[in-house]
Structures are given as C-alpha cells and as structure tokens.
C-alpha cells in the first residue's frame, strides 16, 4: 500500500513539474510557432531601443527605419520610458535595452551612476527652439533681472533638457542664485505641462518649458521669452548610445543600425511630405502643429556627424565638435554642482565615444562624398548698424563678470586680460545669433572726460581682440565707454581702494532685435 502511495505521489509530482515547465515554456513555444507559421519566420532577432516623445527621436522609431531593419531580418522594439533617464541607463547596463537616446548632459549626469554603460555612436539633433525660458515681463524682463531680483521662483522639470538650458544660463551669465541647489527659487515639476500651469496661474515668475507650451505661453502679451534654444548652439545635443556589451557581441548589427538610420534620414530629407505624414500619424497632431514641432529641431546628417566625430582631418571643416560639446557640458555641470570634478573614466571623453561604426558607414561612400558647408559660429556675418539702430535692440543679458585687466594706465590688454576674454569667447560660441556690446568703465575719481576716453579705448581694445584673434565680424560688436558714470553699488564694509578697483571693469553683454 505504501509503495503504491509513493508511486502515486511521484507521478503526481512529475505531472506538477511538467505542468509548471509547460506553463513557463508555453509563451516561448507559442512565439516559435507564431514565427514558424508566418512571414516572420525569417527574422534573425530584435533590437530594443529606449527613448521618449521628443520629436528629434522620431526617425529611429519611424515606419521607414523599422522597414529597413525588417528587410534585413530584425524587428525594432521601441520602449518609451517617458524620459526616465536613470532607469534608461540602468537598463542599458543590464542589457534590458540595446540602444538608447538622450542628451549629452543627461548621459553625463545619469550615466555616471552606472559606470557609463554605453558609447556615443551618432549625434542625432540639436534643439532649435523646442525649449525656452519664459517670464512675466512686469517681474523679470531680462536674464540680468535674475541677478538682482529677490524671492523669484522658477518652475522647471528636473534633469530635462530644459533644465540644462537653465543650468547653462546660471553659469554663462553668472547668476549666483541659480547655482544655489538648495535655493527657494526651485519649483520642481513633473513636466512642461505642469510648469506651464504653475506659470500661467502666476505661482512662479519664470518657467522653463518646451513646445507646445512655449507657444501657448507667448500668446499672452504679458509674457517674454528670456532665452530660447533657437538662439543657442551645441547646448542641448541629442545622441544615440549603444550598450558596450551589445556592441562587442553584435558589431555588424550596430553598423547596420547606423547605416539604416542615415538611410532613413536621407529618405525623409528627399521626401519631407512623407516625414510630415508619418509624424502626423504617430503623434495624432495636425499639420500646423507638426510644422511647429519640426521648427524646434535640427537633425544632423552623416556628413555633419563626420565633422562632429572628427573623421575627416583633411577637411576644411574638421572640428571634433562632439568633444567640444562634451567638454563644455562638463564645465557647466561642474560649476553648477552636479559634479566636483570630471566623472569620465580617466577624465577622458574618448571613453564614451565609439566612432568606428559611423566611420565605416561614412567611408563606404554609400551616401556619396559631398561635404556640407560649415560656418564657425564666431565668424557669422552681421549687417552694419547705425548707433540709433543699436539703441533699439533688446538687452538679453551680460556674461559672467570677468576681471579683464590692462597694462597700468593704458588701454592695452595684459596677458590675464586676454585669458579672461578667451573664457568669454567659450561662452559666446553658444550664442551665435546675438550681437555683442562691450562697455568700458573707470573709477569715479579724476577728470570725467579723460575717464570716458580711457574706457572707450579699452572697450575698443576688447573689440579688436575679438575681431583679430577670433575673426569675429566687427559689425557684430559695439564698443562704448561709460567712464565713471555708471558706478557699482558699494558693498557693506568694502574699503575705498577695493571699491575703486572694482569700478574699473569691462562688461560684455548680448543684445537682440
């Protein structure tokens, strides 16, 4: 009896185990049957790409790209994580996803915690108007007002590309309060919609938002745009990352992804009406709304990427702009307090770049060899303006103060003065559309006319340094001398000597129509 019982128990357990195995294996078996009995039988595998709803990422999830990959036997699986950058980096490291898109700043901030699990294989786009800082003009009508206004509040979405725009403003324009991470000015939101709502209800004086909420906010006559990404360059740069492990195991497939991505861009460039149609179907937006979205993004083609990655050192347009973008972004993040020092492995930006896949596609010549024209942002040309026309331009903001020094009693720049201007140039590279005003100041002692003449000559020296050293258009720069007519406020406990030294200064600020 006991023997029969044992046998029955064993049989029962075997049946249970078999049932469990079947239940576990059923989805896989069913999937195999589905593929074996359909046109999907020829599929070699799938590629998982994580992204979010930013319009710049559309080509890599488009019907065109998916078909190109499908024709080669691979199914593209898109994972929209709603801009969960920390989760995206963790998934890239664990192998849950194969590729990911994000901005340079987002990768530096969130990739560090995961040991930088991916490498940059393509620069996708730059934001060109999609993000902006808006304000109620009766409260804050220029960036500089943020330097002198107390108790203001700004609504923004943490770790978003728009947040990086705000960080850049704090660093480039020297706004100490914005660099105070524990300041009361911070009103964190879960997206542009919430930031827009808080702004329109006047819970905050300033909001950092993106389209379509920028357009909505500016439809109110009381709102001013302090700065939009249409007027910045190489600040918000989107990139395509590949998992390091995936790239090692599947180099040919990664090259295929890069090739088909640029084939997709070529098709959409040649057929803009197809791009419009596909985006409308994807977003459920109308034609006007899609056109507005497209104006806020600038995609980089293969040849621009070759320049950004420094692949053609013989080209007149050789720049290695990706390295420059990483370097300038790191400086902003360090000064903002995100890092104490460079977090990259061995502090080397090349450790997060892999140009080999792009280089193979570029060298293949499959997309031709035509080189696009390149414009150095510092050398952009501007029409000549009369003094009266300069006076009508809108004040944008003054750059972070730097102690530009001259040889004693002269208007000749000394070595330190030149270094300070070089640092200002690194900022001006990001703002190619604005004109520049250089204003010289002196102390209040001495002959007013002589002081004004000296300050004018010093402003001219700065202008000439910009023109001669960096080939800037002289029409872009206005040099004026204020003498001692615009003294700074004396600080509590400041000695007369220290105060007088502080009055002798050169301001560099930007203006716009």
How does pLDDT run along the chain (513 residues), one tens digit per residue? 566 677 777 787 777 787 777 676 766 566 556 555 555 667 899 999 999 888 999 999 999 999 999 999 999 999 999 889 999 999 999 999 999 999 999 999 999 999 999 999 999 999 888 899 999 999 999 999 999 888 999 999 998 889 999 999 999 999 999 988 778 999 999 888 999 999 999 999 999 998 889 989 999 999 999 999 999 999 999 999 999 999 999 999 999 999 999 999 999 999 999 999 999 999 998 998 899 889 889 999 999 999 899 886 555 445 579 999 999 999 999 999 999 999 999 999 999 999 999 999 998 877 766 655 667 889 999 999 999 999 999 999 999 988 898 887 778 899 999 999 999 999 999 999 999 999 999 888 889 999 999 999 999 999 999 999 999 999 999 999 999 888 888 888 888 888 887 888 899 999 999
Say if residue 102 is in the same domain as residue 240: yes
What residues are paired with 395 via a beta bridge? 511
Q: Does 506 fall in a domain?
A: yes
Closest CA to 353 of 114, 161, 123, 125: 123
Say if residue 166 is in the same domain as residue 253: no
Domain final position from 213, 231, 249: 231
Task: Using DSSP bridges, classify how beta strands 506-512 and 435-440 pair: parallel, antiparallel or unpaired.
Answer: antiparallel
Say how far apart CA 144 and CA 167 lie, in whole Å. Answer: 15
Closest CA to 122 of 305, 303, 248: 305
Q: Does 214 fall in a domain?
A: yes
Say how far apart CA 157 and CA 171 lie, in whole Å. Answer: 18
* The predicted structure's pLDDT at residue 2: 61
Domain final position from 199, 231, 263: 231
Torsion on CA atoms 188, 192, 193, 196, rounded to nearest 10: 80
Say how far apart CA 20 and CA 15 lie, in whole Å. Answer: 9
Query: How many CA within 13 A on the CB side of residue 505?
Result: 19
The answer to whether 401 and 173 have CB atoms below 8 angstroms apart is: no
Say if residue 459 is in the same domain as residue 433: yes
Report how far apart, in Å, the C-alpha atoms of 23 and of each of 18, 20, 32, 435 are. Answer: 9, 5, 15, 69
Say if residue 244 is in the same domain as residue 355: yes
Show the domain range for 304: 42-125+235-364
Say if residue 144 is in the same domain as residue 206: yes
pLDDT per position as a tens digit, 152-161: 999 999 988 8
Say if residue 276 is in the same domain as residue 339: yes
Compute φ and ψ for 437, nearest 5 degrees. -115, 130
Q: Tokens in use for 29? A: 């078996």
CATH number of the structural domain spanning residue 286: 3.40.190.10
Residue owning tokens 């604005």: 434
* The predicted structure's pLDDT at residue 99: 99
Say how far apart CA 352 and CA 240 lie, in whole Å. Answer: 11
Closest CA to 379 of 475, 507, 237, 459: 475
* Alpha helices (H) in 284-413, listed in sequence order: 287-294, 302-308, 321-336, 356-364, 387-390
* The predicted structure's pLDDT at residue 348: 96
Q: What is the 3-state secondary structure (H, E, C) of 365-378?
A: CCCCCCCCCCCCHH
**Is the backbone peptide bond immediately before 504 cis, with ω within 30 degrees of 0?**
no
Q: What residues contact residue 38 under an 8 Å CB cut-off, 6+ apart?
A: none
Say if residue 177 is in the same domain as residue 259: no
Q: Does 24 fall in a domain?
A: no
| First CA to last CA distance, the chain | 100
pLDDT per position as a tens digit, 203-255: 999 999 988 899 899 999 999 999 999 999 999 999 999 999 999 999 999 99
Say if residue 401 is in the same domain as residue 320: no
Closest CA to 264 of 372, 130, 122: 122
Q: Does 29 fall in a domain?
A: no
Q: What residues contact residue 277 under an 8 Å CB cut-off, 6+ apart?
A: none
The DSSP call for residue 475 is G
Say how far apart CA 361 and CA 256 lie, in whole Å. Answer: 9
Q: Does 407 fall in a domain?
A: yes
Say if residue 170 is in the same domain as residue 210: yes
Task: Using DSSP bridges, classify how beta strands 74-80 and 223-228 pair: parallel, antiparallel or unpaired.
Answer: unpaired
What residues are paired with 359 via a beta bridge? none
Q: Is the dihedral of CA 23, 24, 25, 27 positive or negative?
A: positive
Sheet with strand 74-80: strands edge to edge: 74-80, 45-51, 99-103, 237-243, 118-127, 297-299
Q: Does 28 fall in a domain?
A: no
The DSSP call for residue 72 is T
Domain final position from 231, 259, 279: 231
Say how far apart CA 257 and CA 266 lie, in whole Å. Answer: 14
* The predicted structure's pLDDT at residue 316: 47
Q: Which of 403-430 are b and which e, b meaning 16 or more Cβ less than 10 Å from the residue's Cβ?
A: ebbbeeeebebeeebeebbeebbebbbb
Say how far apart CA 392 and CA 174 lie, in whole Å. Answer: 25
The answer to whether 61 and 112 have CB atoms below 8 angstroms apart is: no
Say how far apart CA 270 and CA 265 lie, in whole Å. Answer: 9
Say if residue 275 is in the same domain as residue 298: yes
Q: Does 23 fall in a domain?
A: no
The SS3 of residue 480 is strand
The domain total for the chain is: 3
3-state helix vs strand vs coil in the chain, percent to 5: 50, 15, 35
* The predicted structure's pLDDT at residue 38: 57
Say if residue 117 is in the same domain as residue 144: no
Q: Does 18 fall in a domain?
A: no
* The predicted structure's pLDDT at residue 171: 96
Say if residue 469 is in the same domain as residue 354: no
Q: Tokens in use for 318? A: 């050789």
């Amino acid at each position: 009896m006991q023997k029969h019982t044992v046998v029955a128990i064993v049989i029962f357990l075997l049946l249970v185990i078999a049932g469990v195995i079947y239940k576990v294996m059923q989805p896989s078996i069913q999937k195999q049957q589905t593929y074996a009995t359909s046109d999907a039988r020829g599929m070699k595998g799938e590629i998982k790409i994580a992204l979010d709803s930013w319009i710049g990422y559309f080509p890599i999830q488009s019907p065109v790209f998916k078909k190109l990959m499908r024709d080669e036997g691979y199914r593209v699986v898109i994972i929209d994580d709603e801009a969960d950058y920390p989760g995206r980096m963790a998934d890239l490291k664990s192998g849950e996803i194969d590729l990911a898109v994000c901005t340079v700043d987002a990768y530096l901030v969130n990739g560090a915690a995961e040991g930088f699990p991916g490498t940059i294989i393509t620069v996708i786009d730059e934001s060109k108007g999609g993000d902006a800082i808006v304000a109620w003009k009766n409260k804050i009508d220029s960036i500089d007002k943020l330097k002198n206004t107390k108790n203001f509040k700004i609504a923004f979405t943490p770790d978003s590309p728009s947040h990086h725009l705000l960080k850049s403003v704090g660093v480039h324009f020297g706004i100490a309060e914005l660099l105070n991470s524990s300041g009361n000015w911070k009103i964190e939101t879960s997206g542009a919609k919430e930031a827009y709502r808080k702004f329109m209800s006047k819970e905050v004086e300033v909001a950092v938002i993106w389209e379509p909420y920028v357009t909505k906010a500016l439809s109110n006559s009381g709102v001013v745009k302090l700065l939009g990404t249409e007027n910045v360059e190489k600040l918000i740069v989107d990139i395509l990352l590949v998992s390091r492990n995936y790239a090692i195991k599947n180099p040919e497939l990664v090259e295929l992804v890069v090739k088909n991505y640029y084939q997709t861009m070529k098709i959409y460039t040649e057929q803009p009406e197809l791009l419009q149609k596909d985006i409308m179907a994807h977003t459920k937006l109308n034609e006007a709304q899609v056109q507005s979205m497209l104006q806020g993004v600038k995609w980089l083609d293969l040849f621009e990427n070759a320049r950004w990655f420094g692949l053609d050192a013989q080209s007149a347009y050789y720049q290695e702009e990706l390295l420059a973008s990483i370097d300038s972004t790191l400086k902003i993040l360090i000064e903002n307090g995100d890092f104490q020092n460079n977090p990259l492995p061995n502090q080397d930006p090349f450790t997060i770049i892999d140009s080999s896949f792009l280089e193979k596609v570029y060298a293949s010549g499959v997309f031709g060899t035509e080189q696009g024209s390149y414009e150095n942002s510092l050398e952009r040309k501007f029409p000549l303006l009369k003094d009266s026309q300069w006076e009508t331009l809108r004040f944008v903001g003054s750059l972070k103060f730097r102690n530009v020094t001259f040889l004693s009693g002269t208007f000749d720049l000394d070595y330190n003065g030149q270094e300070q201007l070089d640092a200002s140039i690194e900022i001006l590279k990001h703002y190619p559309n604005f004109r520049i005003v250089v204003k010289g100041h002196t102390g209040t002692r001495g002959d007013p006319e002589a002081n004004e003449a000296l300050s004018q000559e010093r402003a001219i020296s700065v202008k000439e340094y910009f023109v001669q050293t960096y080939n800037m258009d002289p029409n872009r720069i206005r040099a004026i001398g204020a003498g001692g007519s615009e003294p700074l406020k004396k600080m509590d406990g400041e000695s007369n000597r220290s105060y007088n030294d502080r009055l002798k200064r050169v301001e560099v600020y930007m203006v716009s129509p």
